């Protein structure tokens, strides 16, 4: 390639300083042919939802990761009616970009090229603080007193938890309902509340409550409700829905509260409360991702 040329993909990056890339996974988004993300051919010749002519999928416009696993060791598709790639005797071809080197069948190159043995793993040799195998633990705030798999160790013993945060964990006696945060179609995280179009589509903060719990609490559609945790409270409009139903956990009926996470004290939307006022600061043992998807709250008509 000549100086100044756009790369076709990350496979052309070199470690000698002769190439440059802001982020390697996006190499190939903009090539000598122009903006590949603007491609708008939605043809699907495979019939499997594989549309390589539509926009750009990182890396290398590949649509199905590890697609080498869709063919047998000889390169023949396991299912001829649902084939993505195949070996024609001299080279790899098909509807998708092969997710491995150009090595022919029989060369010992496996489908999972990010692992030295070339196969998928259900374990991590030395990368997990609570490994090598995945284990189930109850959230630190749980309506269930004991882990059903091993009652003596209910919570993850190597999770990241500072003493201040440990002092602000609630219990099911004071906060009997499970809450979870999530995103909605009209808004994305805390960014699009600054966009007028998104704000018009979904202006008001709301809390999603199942019909059974709403009936018990005397809460009707559109009522303002107060949701409290050990760490604070928020207020929002109630959306009473059939979508959230009570769960029976270890013989106990448990209700769930749904809390979209998009609003705050700034933006084009109506002013609202920060959903993460309620969430606990418990970090996953490996990635330190916080437990925002399962925690305990109380709910009442405001």
Query: Does residue 134 lie within any of the structural domains?
Result: no
CB 52 within 8 A of CB 61: yes
Place of tokens 């705050």: 264
Q: What is the mean pLDDT of residues 44-60?
A: 92
**pLDDT of the residue at 118:** 87
Query: Does residue 118 lie within any of the structural domains?
Result: no
Q: What is the mean pLDDT of residues 126-151?
A: 89
Query: Does residue 147 lie within any of the structural domains?
Result: no
Q: What is the mean pLDDT of residues 163-167?
A: 95
**pLDDT of the residue at 19:** 94
Q: Quick one: pLDDT band at residue 299, thresholds 50, 70, 90?
A: very high
Higher pLDDT, 211 or 122: 211
Q: Quick one: pLDDT band at residue 74, thresholds 50, 70, 90?
A: very high
Average pLDDT, whole number, for the chain?
Answer: 93
Query: Tokens at residue 265, please?
Result: 């004290």
Domain count, the chain: 1
Say if residue 216's pLDDT is above 90.
yes
Query: Does residue 190 lie within any of the structural domains?
Result: yes
Q: Quick one: pLDDT band at residue 156, thresholds 50, 70, 90?
A: very high
Task: Reduce the DSSP state of residue 236 to 3 states and report it.
Answer: strand
Sign of the Cα pseudo-torsion (9, 14, 20, 26, in order): positive
Query: Does residue 21 lie within any of the structural domains?
Result: no
Q: Quick one: pLDDT band at residue 145, thresholds 50, 70, 90?
A: confident
Q: What is the mean pLDDT of residues 192-199?
A: 94
Query: Tokens at residue 45, please?
Result: 């010749």
pLDDT tens figures, 238-292: 999 999 999 998 888 999 999 999 999 999 999 999 999 999 999 999 999 999 9
Q: What are phi and psi of 283, to 5 degrees?
A: -95, 135
Cα–Cα nearest to 296, from 260, 263, 245, 255: 255
Measured CA to CA in angstroms, residue 263 lies from 154, 187, 189 at distances of 33, 9, 9
Query: Does residue 276 lie within any of the structural domains?
Result: yes
**pLDDT of the residue at 126:** 84
**pLDDT of the residue at 141:** 96
* CATH code of the domain covering residue 246: 2.40.40.20
pTM above 0.75, yes or no: no
% of the chain with per-residue pLDDT over 70:
100
Higher pLDDT, 118 or 255: 255
**pLDDT of the residue at 99:** 87
Query: Does residue 112 lie within any of the structural domains?
Result: no
CB 168 within 8 A of CB 277: no
Task: Reduce the DSSP state of residue 60 to 3 states and report it.
Answer: coil
Q: What is the mean pLDDT of residues 161-188?
A: 95
Query: Does residue 14 lie within any of the structural domains?
Result: no
Residue numbers of the domain that contains 195: 163-301
Cα–Cα nearest to 278, from 236, 223, 219, 224: 236
Q: What are phi and psi of 38, to 5 degrees?
A: -90, 0
């Amino acid at each position: 390639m000549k100086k100044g040329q756009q790369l076709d993909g990350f496979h052309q990056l070199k470690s000698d300083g002769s190439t440059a890339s802001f982020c390697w996974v996006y190499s190939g988004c903009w090539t000598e042919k122009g903006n590949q993300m603007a491609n708008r051919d939605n043809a699907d010749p495979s019939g499997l939802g594989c549309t390589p002519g539509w926009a750009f999928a990182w890396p290398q416009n590949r649509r199905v990761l590890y697609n080498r696993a869709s063919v047998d060791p000889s390169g023949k598709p396991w299912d001829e009616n649902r084939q993505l790639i195949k070996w024609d005797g001299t080279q790899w071809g098909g509807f998708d970009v092969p997710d491995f080197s150009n090595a022919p069948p029989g060369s010992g190159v496996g489908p999972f090229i990010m692992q030295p043995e070339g196969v998928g793993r259900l374990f991590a040799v030395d990368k997990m603080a609570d490994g090598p195998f995945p284990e189930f633990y109850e959230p630190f705030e749980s309506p269930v007193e004991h882990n059903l798999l091993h009652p003596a160790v209910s919570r993850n013993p190597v999770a990241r938890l500072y003493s201040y945060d440990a002092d602000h964990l609630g219990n099911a006696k004071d906060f009997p309902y499970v809450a979870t945060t999530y995103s909605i179609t009209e808004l994305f995280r805390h960014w699009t509340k600054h966009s007028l179009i998104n704000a018009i589509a979904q202006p008001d903060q709301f809390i999603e409550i199942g019909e059974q719990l709403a009936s018990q609490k005397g809460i009707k559609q559109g009522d303002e409700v107060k949701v409290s945790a050990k760490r604070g409270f928020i207020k929002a409009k109630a959306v009473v829905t059939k979508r959230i139903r009570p769960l029976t956990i270890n013989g106990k009926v448990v209700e769930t509260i749904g809390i979209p996470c998009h609003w705050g004290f700034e933006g084009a939307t109506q002013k609202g409360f920060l959903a993460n006022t309620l969430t606990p600061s418990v970090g996953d043992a490996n990635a330190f991702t916080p437990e925002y998807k399962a925690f305990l709250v109380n709910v009442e008509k405001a």
